[in-house]
Structures are given as structure tokens and as C-alpha cells.
Amino acid sequence: MNDVILLYGTNDFERERWDDLPELVERRGIVLSRKAGPRTPLPTDHAWDPVSVYASDDLTEEEFQELYEANRAHVAELNLKY
């Protein structure tokens, strides 16, 4: 099983668990692409499943990095060490 973070905007995200990790998915009428992962975080107080992050396929790498950073305060998985 994989932990999946879907980033739509600042403080606008969804967290899901998927078996398969397609390159592209459609949610809320937006095509999202897998921008990061799957990567398995280092254990903390418990073991983590692999994490993948999806965001709008239209975003440049720089725009994705800005969105990722803007959501770190709200999404625990974005702050884990890998």
C-alpha cells in the first residue's frame, strides 16, 4: 500500500492510500501527475508506507517545489526524512 498526497494549492490537499501509482490521475477536473515518489520514509515512532506526491501536470518543477514547501506545515508526510 502507498500513501498518496494530492496537492491542489496551499493548504488544499487530499491524503489517500493506493495500491497502484499511475503516472497521471484526474481529480476535481484536474490532471495530476506523480511529481515525487514513491519513496519510503525513515522510521519515526512507527514505520511508514511509501509516499508519493501528485500535483497539477501543468506545474513546472519550480512551481511544484513552491507548492510542496507551502504545504509542509499541513502535511506530515512532506516533513519526513527519506
Per residue in 37-51, pLDDT tens?
Answer: 999 988 888 888 999
Domain chopping of the chain, boundaries: 2-75
Per residue in 52-75, pLDDT tens?
Answer: 999 999 999 999 999 999 999 999
Cα–Cα distance between 4 and 37 in angstroms, integer?
Answer: 9
Cα–Cα distance between 72 and 49 in angstroms, integer?
Answer: 18
pTM, two decimal places: 0.93
